[in-house]
Amino acid sequence: MKYLIFIIFLISVDSCISHEKLRVNEKGTTFTEFPESDTLRFSPIFNGVLGKLRYILKHRDYLILSKINYEKSKWIVIYSLKEKCIIKELINYGRGPDEMLSCSIGKFDDKIWLQDKIKSEIFIIPLDSFMLDGLSNTKKHKVNMWSYSTALVNDSIMLGTNTFINAYKISYSNLENGNNWGKGSYSALSQNIPLGSLIDACSCYINVQPNSGKIALSYRYTDLLEIYDINGNLIHAIHGPNNFDVEFNAVSKNGHDIMAKNRRTIKAFVSSFVTNEHIYLLFSGRKRNEAEWPYGRNIFVYSWDGEPQKSLYIDFPIYSFCVDNSEQIVYSYSMTTGELIKAKL
């Protein structure tokens, strides 16, 4: 009898869940195969203890490594490619003025930015100064919008995705005066899905082309890449090679409409990196209940003109990476061995 009651309960709960299949962009071009494919053959460059890495940046002969800081120690590790060793660790975990409770990083021009989403702060620092003294020579701003992914255009303009404070795909924030605005409406996608669930299902990474300022949005649950101009006007939308839509459950939790993953939800892009020439997207393709769901074994390469260029296969899972365009080298971290690694493009 108790099992019958439990089944009835499950049926009643399921009846309150909206099962959705969402096409994020219906006007984009589709493709099923990259013109070229190759295998990235990585070799280790350091097998010391680093911890899992969330972001990797390169500055001159150094790698700036941002950790997934489970142990609540230093956030940043500086690795010397010439000396083949860690030369410095920076930024304590904590609530102090030069400490951070979370740490997202990126760079533009000759500067690095570090965002603490928990404390709603962002630091902008000349890269050379950061390498020497961490946060001591910094420009700090309070951030008045939370975003899933962040990019900076310059010292003043911050871009974000999935902010929930507005109904736009790209949110702009002026760090100097606090003004916010947006471009690319979510509400045009579906009138039937609650807006909160829609924004959550459309979560994506944002990157800015270093020279011309084009914007790339790469989606987490559909293999879609959108390219915008700096003002937020859509230029290209490229869907493929698998052409799957976002499948999810629209649910309400603690008074908020959110996306709930189900057995049909597929992870698309895991992380991203851009150069002036190309967009590099790490692809998973795994369903929620499959192994390696959070990681990827393929890097997809696109031009900024919206053309698929190449698929690069990796025979083990990775999560974070960066590309040195001048040397044609990919730097990454092996989720299998825990080693810092590199491969020639």
C-alpha 335/C-alpha 238 separation (Å) is 29
Do 22 and 312 touch, CB atoms closer than 8 A? no
- What does the DSSP 8-state code read for residue 241? S
17 has pLDDT over 80: no
Segment 284-301, tens digit of pLDDT: 999 999 999 999 999 999
Exposed, middle or buried: residue 128 (CB in 10 Å: 0-12, 13-18, 19+)? middle
Confidence of residue 339 (pLDDT cuts 50, 70, 90): very high
Mean pLDDT of 274-284: 98
**192 or 137, which is more confident?**
192
Cis peptide before 308 (omega within 30 of 0): no
Confidence of residue 319 (pLDDT cuts 50, 70, 90): very high
Confidence of residue 25 (pLDDT cuts 50, 70, 90): very high
C-alpha 215/C-alpha 169 separation (Å) is 11
3-state helix, strand, coil in the chain (%, to 5): 10, 50, 45
Question: Which amino acid, one-letter code, is at 201?
Answer: A
Question: Which amino acid, one-letter code, is at 119?
Answer: K
Segment 176-227, tens digit of pLDDT: 999 999 999 887 787 789 989 999 999 999 999 999 889 999 999 999 999 9
Percentage of the residues of the chain whose pLDDT score is greater than 90: 83
Segment 237-250, tens digit of pLDDT: 999 999 999 999 99
Do 158 and 172 touch, CB atoms closer than 8 A? yes
Exposed, middle or buried: residue 233 (CB in 10 Å: 0-12, 13-18, 19+)? exposed
C-alpha 12/C-alpha 83 separation (Å) is 62
CA-derived radius of gyration, the chain:
21
Angle (CA) 226-229-231 rounded to 5° is 120
- The token pair at 179 is 């003004």
Do 333 and 339 touch, CB atoms closer than 8 A? yes
Residue with tokens 């071009």: 29
Q: Which domains does the chain have, with CATH numbers?
A: 22-51+147-344 (2.120.10)
- The count of other CB atoms within 10 Å of the CB of residue 252 is 15
Tell me, what's the pLDDT at 16? 52
Mean pLDDT of the chain: 92
Mean pLDDT of 128-134: 92
Could you tell me whether strands 234-239 and 29-30 are parallel, antiparallel, or unpaired per DSSP bridges? parallel
